[in-house]
Copies of this chain bind each other. A is one copy, B any other.
Amino acid sequence: MRATIIHGEKDIRLEEVPDPRLVSGQDAIVRVVASCVCGSDLWHYRGIASSAKVPRPIGHEFVGIVEEVADGVARVKVGDFVIAPFYDCDMTCANCRNGFSTSCLEKGDWGGEDHWGHPVDGGQGEYVRVPHADGTLTVVPGGAPSDDLVPGLLTLSDVFLTGHHAAVSAGVTAGSTVVVVGDGAVGLSGVLASTRLGAGRIVAMSRHAPRQALAREFGATDVVAERGVEGVAAVKDLFDGIGPDAVLECVGTKESMDQALRSARPGGQVGFVGVPHGEPELPVRRMFSTNVGVRGGVAPVRNYAEALLPEVLDRTIDPGRVFDLELPLADVAEAYAAMDERRAIKTLLRP
């Protein structure tokens, strides 16, 4: 089959690799219908998160059709249309049952290894072996959906539910005042998630017109273009001089976290999902004096997927709007370049 391999900084290639086959009794083989490029893939692409060995398969968001299942797979059937989270998990261990499948005691990573040390395919390819398929995969009821629903379903693999996790972690609820730091696909998803949770006012921090426009479509009531000290001042001004209840940190730099912490009102909460880079250790004295809490991390999307799936299927929400570029898998290198150069918010790939 063909699969995407990262060879180093800005070196993404589609290559011929062996077809996956069942390894354990809990595996399934999924034929990928759509995959995409994640903001966190770009850290690797830019050589910033370079601890992982190259060359290796890449990509961790995909939806597809189950082609084959091992003997021990009971819930997932051949022919099912399924959504994979950006990791694999058993959904039976204590952490999965607590709602944090990202800390599954048998977790594995696409493009890396499963819990038992067997290689696992990346998501940006034609087929993927899925460990403990009954835990990992969300089955879309009714079989293959209409084609226009595929982008929205694909966002349940990571991006929309990561934005949702930021909002949940920040404690967004009916009437909340919210600021979203970051206008990438995750930040925009955080706007939509906050709208869905009933937020009363949502400020998108963005200085890019197309992203501002999508933020407003997703429910942002205000847009603030300033950053840093000026951004904090502008946000405080919007909320009685004290700041909003909730801030969604969707970038992962020291600057963005600092801006988030300074923006929240006393007793407010920062929900963070940006993968931390640049050692942004948190200023505990500031948190102490202001009672601003910090909660979040790698989003347990598998725990959220089934609850939000019906709203995508019945078109109550359209999180797939974050995809503004669609390319064939053969053009995967361009998919990365377009996002890296901010020509695209998020790129969808079809094998």
Chain A residues packing against B (C-beta within 8 Å): 94-95, 98-100, 102-103, 169, 240-242, 257, 265-267, 269, 272, 275-276, 280-285, 287-298, 300
Contact between A283 and B281 (Cβ–Cβ < 8 Å)?
yes
Choice from B267, B272, B283, B284 contacting A288 with Cβ under 8 Å: B272
Contact between A295 and B298 (Cβ–Cβ < 8 Å)?
no
Across the interface, which residues of B come within 8 angstroms of A103, CB to CB?
Answer: 266-267, 290-291
Contact between B293 and A298 (Cβ–Cβ < 8 Å)?
no
Contact between A257 and B284 (Cβ–Cβ < 8 Å)?
yes
Known: A95-B265, A276-B285, A281-B284. 9 other contacts (CB 8 A): A98-B266, A103-B266, A169-B291, A281-B283, A284-B294, A287-B294, A291-B300, A293-B296, A295-B295
Cα separation A276 to B291 with both chains bound (whole Å) = 13
Contact between B294 and A298 (Cβ–Cβ < 8 Å)?
no
Across the interface, which residues of B come within 8 angstroms of A267, CB to CB?
Answer: 95, 98-100, 103, 300
Cα separation A284 to B277 with both chains bound (whole Å) = 9
Across the interface, which residues of B come within 8 angstroms of A297, CB to CB?
Answer: 287-292
Cα separation A242 to B96 with both chains bound (whole Å) = 12
Choice from B265, B285, B289, B298 contacting A291 with Cβ under 8 Å: B298
Query: Contacts A242-B95, A288-B275 hold; do A295 and B296 have CB atoms under 8 A apart?
Result: no
Contact between B95 and A266 (Cβ–Cβ < 8 Å)?
yes
Cα separation A297 to B169 with both chains bound (whole Å) = 18
Contact between B266 and A288 (Cβ–Cβ < 8 Å)?
no
Contact between B240 and A293 (Cβ–Cβ < 8 Å)?
no
Across the interface, which residues of B come within 8 angstroms of A265, CB to CB?
Answer: 94-95, 98
Contact between A266 and B100 (Cβ–Cβ < 8 Å)?
yes
Across the interface, which residues of B come within 8 angstroms of A99, CB to CB?
Answer: 267
For the complex formed, measure the closest distance between the CB of A100 and the CB atoms of chain B, giving whole angstroms.
4
Cα separation A269 to B289 with both chains bound (whole Å) = 18
Contact between A293 and B291 (Cβ–Cβ < 8 Å)?
no
Contact between B287 and A298 (Cβ–Cβ < 8 Å)?
no
Q: Which residue of B lies closest to A93 (CB)?
A: B242
Cα separation A195 to B99 with both chains bound (whole Å) = 24
Across the interface, which residues of B come within 8 angstroms of A287, CB to CB?
Answer: 282, 294, 296-297
Contact between B294 and A102 (Cβ–Cβ < 8 Å)?
no
27 contacting pairs across A/B (C-beta < 8 A): A95-B242, A95-B266, A95-B267, A98-B242, A98-B266, A98-B267, A99-B267, A100-B266, A100-B291, A102-B291, A103-B291, A169-B291, A267-B300, A275-B288, A281-B281, A281-B283, A281-B284, A287-B296, A288-B298, A289-B298, A291-B296, A291-B297, A291-B300, A293-B293, A293-B294, A293-B296, A294-B294
Across the interface, which residues of B come within 8 angstroms of A285, CB to CB?
Answer: 276
For the complex formed, measure the closest distance between the CB of A170 and the CB atoms of chain B, giving whole angstroms.
10
Cα separation A291 to B98 with both chains bound (whole Å) = 12
**9 closest Cβ contacts across the A-B interface?**
A293-B295, A103-B266, A100-B267, A282-B282, A281-B281, A291-B297, A288-B297, A100-B266, A276-B284
Across the interface, which residues of B come within 8 angstroms of A294, CB to CB?
Answer: 282, 284, 287, 293-295
Cα separation A348 to B269 with both chains bound (whole Å) = 36
Cα separation A258 to B95 with both chains bound (whole Å) = 21
Across the interface, which residues of B come within 8 angstroms of A284, CB to CB?
Answer: 257, 272, 276, 280-282, 294
For the complex formed, measure the closest distance between the CB of A50 and the CB atoms of chain B, giving whole angstroms.
16
